Amino acid sequence: MKSIGARLAICYVLASTITFAALFLTGRYFVEYHAIHALDLVIHSEFEQIRANVAALGPTPPEAALRERMQAVTRNDLELFFTEIYGPGGTIVYRSPGLRGFDMIPSARDQEFNVNLAGLDELRAGKFALGPYTVVIATTKHHVRVVMSGYERTFYGLLLVMIAVSSVIGYGFSRMALRPLRLIQDTADRIRSDNLSERIPVSSARDEISDLARLLNQMFDRLEESFTQIRRFTAEASHELKTPLTLVRLQAEKLVVDGQLTPAQEHAVQIQIKELAQLNRIIEDLLFLSRADACAITLDLRQQDPEPFLQSFAQDAHVLAEYREQRFNLTHHGAGQVAIEPKWIRQVLLNLLSNALSASPPGSRVTVRSTLVNRCWQVRVEDEGPGVPAEQRERIFERFVRINRPGNEDKGSGLGLAICRSIVALHGGRIFAEAGPGGHGLSMVFEIPATTSPDDAGSVPFGTPHLTDAA
């Protein structure tokens, strides 16, 4: 059982049940003991009456006179008491008719004892001395059994009630006891890289839970400090590198413009300029990611229909596809409004399109499928390349992760998809990769929350497809 609350509730119920059962057994013992003791007192009282009635016969009454007096004394107690009188030699001087000829053999050790006779209830008997005679007086234990049976029925009824009540109390107790832990869990779950300033509330009580909250807050303090240092270092290092790199590039371009270099030297300088441009792009990307991680980017989100935006993007996409001797398709389904900032979503689409064109062979097709339905705008960029293994599809969104493909010389910086993920996350969406249609190629998918028009969504769930094709 994984739930601590459930375990606490069950332990509380078990402890309550065991305690109640132990108290019942103890109470049953004392109730039965006092009930039997009451019978012993009644039997003793009956003997005192018999002794008072036969006192007139002398200290050693004759057996005949004793028998006659006993018949007269016990005439009214035949149903309540059973009496036997033994003579000095063990002979029976008197026996109550209710005994049906059975003997109540007195115990040699105990003054009070139990007697079991066939056809009669269990009897409680007492042994007394009356001169030379031994008197045994017994009464039924039926009433004791009735009392104890009622006691047991009451116990079982109360046990069921107690289990139900203790279950409710145990559940409430576990909820109350674990409330600080749930608060810690909820707060810790909200603390992410973009929300490291939030802390777990700490109660004034000096207990184990408050100590745990303080320890976690200290850990979050260290994490926030580490994240802040890393972000500051990335931002400052990127910013400080831009100026010297720009100067180096300007000097290299000046050497080319002057025309005093040999062809070999000019070729080497051109490579340096190209690498400097690539390094500048990496720095710009790192600056963007650093600002995105610090939530320092403010989006100008506006509700708009994505179809005109996609048609505008398709014009540039056709040019890129034609340059690489490939084809580009765009389809859009559904109608509604999406809150986006076009320049950032355009950068996402350009990055995904560039990756798809690079991964696909000449003559292949890259397709962008857009659907807006069920309050979600989904865009899929599908290529016809070799695809990416399933175990690597999540890693490609990490920084500086590149997939090496044969024949692809432009390996990129490995930051494009990380930037796409940050931009989509800033729009409240998500991005992921999956296998292309039929298991061939790769599909890059991003989803952004949308507000679908009720009329359009009700009449045409998927809208009317719009297709543009560039051969």
Residue 346 within any structural domain of the chain: yes
Residue closest to 23 by CA, chosen among 193, 155, 121: 155
| pLDDT at 353 (0 to 100) | 94
pLDDT of residue 209: 82
Residues 309, 446: one domain?
yes
Longest CA–CA separation in the chain, Å:
160
The model's confidence at residue 410, banded by pLDDT at 50, 70 and 90, is: low
In degrees to the nearest 10, what's the CA dihedral of 227, 231, 237, 243? -170
Answer with the one of 258, 293, 328 that is the final residue of a domain.
293
pLDDT of residue 332: 93
Mean pLDDT, rounded, for 222-235:
77
Q: Model confidence at 26, in pLDDT bands (50, 70, 90)? A: very high
* pLDDT reported for residue 5: 82
- In-domain check, residue 182: no
Q: Structural domain of residue 260, as residue ranges?
A: 208-293
Note the pLDDT of residue 18: 93
pLDDT at residue 463 in the model: 33
How far apart CA 379 and CA 194 sit, in angstroms, is 26
pLDDT value, residue 466: 37
453 close to 336: Cβ distance less than 8 angstroms: yes
Residues 313 and 276 in one domain: no
What CATH number has the domain bearing residue 359?
3.30.565.10
- Split at pLDDT 50, 70, 90, the class of 307 is very high
Residue 416 falls inside a structural domain:
yes
Contact 230, 193 (CB under 8 A): no
Note the pTM of the prediction, 2 decimals.
0.51
Q: How far is 454 from 92, CA to CA, in rounded Å?
A: 107
Q: Is the pLDDT of residue 471 over 70?
A: no
Whole-number Å distance between alpha carbons of 81 and 66:
18
Q: Is residue 183 part of a domain?
A: no
Examine the domain organization and report whether 248 and 317 are in the same domain: no
Question: What are the backbone angles phi and psi of residue 259, rounded to the nearest 5°?
Answer: 70, 20
Check whether 279 has a pLDDT greater than 90: no
Assign residue 85 the CATH number of its domain.
Answer: 3.30.450.20
Beta strand pairing call for 365-373 and 302-304: unpaired
Looking at the structure, do residues 284 and 323 belong to the same domain, yes or no?
Answer: no
Q: How far is CA 286 from CA 272, 416, 447, in A?
A: 21, 10, 24
Rounded Cα–Cα distance for residues 415 and 398 (Å): 8
Beta strands 92-95 and 442-452: pairing type?
Answer: unpaired
Asked whether residue 1 carries a pLDDT value surpassing 70, the answer given is no
Average pLDDT rounded to a whole number, residues 90-96: 87
Average pLDDT over residues 452-460: 42
306 and 285 in one domain?
no
From 293, 324, 349, give the residue that closes a domain.
293
Same domain, yes or no: 88 and 43: yes
Average pLDDT, the chain: 84
Please check whether residues 135 and 212 belong to one and the same domain: no
Tell me, yes or no, whether 82 lies in a domain: yes
Identify whether 187 is part of a domain. no
More confident residue, 206 or 25: 25
pLDDT above 80 (res 434)? yes
pLDDT range class, residue 103, cuts 50, 70, 90:
confident
With respect to residue 164, please indicate whether it lies within any of the assigned structural domains.
no
Give the model's pLDDT for residue 459: 31
How much is the pLDDT for 446?
95
357 and 289, same structural domain?
Answer: no
Q: Which residue has the higher pLDDT, 190 or 362?
A: 362
- Identify whether residues 261 and 316 lie together within a single domain: no
As a whole number, mean pLDDT of residues 402-409 equals 59
CATH number for the domain that contains residue 271: 1.10.287.130
Using the 3D structure, point to which of 145, 167, 200 is the last residue of a domain.
Answer: 145
Q: Does any domain span residue 174?
A: no
Domains in the chain, number: 3
Band of pLDDT at residue 445, cut at 50, 70 and 90: very high
- In the chain, % of residues over pLDDT 70: 90
Determine phi and psi for 63, rounding to 5 degrees: -65, -40
Whether the per-residue pLDDT at 433 is higher than 90: the answer is yes
Residues 363 and 433 both lie in one domain = yes
> Is residue 38's pLDDT more than 70?
yes
Q: Do 286 and 399 belong together in one domain?
A: no
Q: Are residues 363 and 392 in the same domain?
A: yes
Write out the chain in H/E/C secondary structure.
CCCHHHHHHHHHHHHHHHHHHHHHHHHHHHHHHHHHHHHHHHHHHHHHHHHHHHHHHCCCCCHHHHHHHHHHHHHHHCCCCEEEEECCCCCEEEECHHHCCCCCCCCCCCCEEEECCCCCCCEEEEEEEECCEEEEEEEECHHHHHHHHHHHHHHHHHHHHHHHHHHHHHHHHHHHHHHHHHHHHHHHHHCCCCCCCCCCCCCCCCCHHHHHHHHHHHHHHHHHHHHHHHHHHHHHHHHHHHHHHHHHHHHHHHHHHHCCCCHHHHHHHHHHHHHHHHHHHHHHHHHHHHHHHCCCCCCCCEEECHHHHHHHHHHHHHHHHHHCCCEEEEEEEECEEEEECHHHHHHHHHHHHHHHHHHCCCCCEEEEEEEEECCEEEEEEECCCCCCCHHHCCHHHCCCCCCCCCCCCCCCCCCHHHHHHHHHHHCCCEEEEEECHHHCCEEEEEEEEEEECHHHHHHCCCCCCEEEEEC
Please tell me the predicted confidence (pLDDT) of residue 465: 36
- Specify whether the CB–CB gap between 279 and 252 falls below 8 A: no
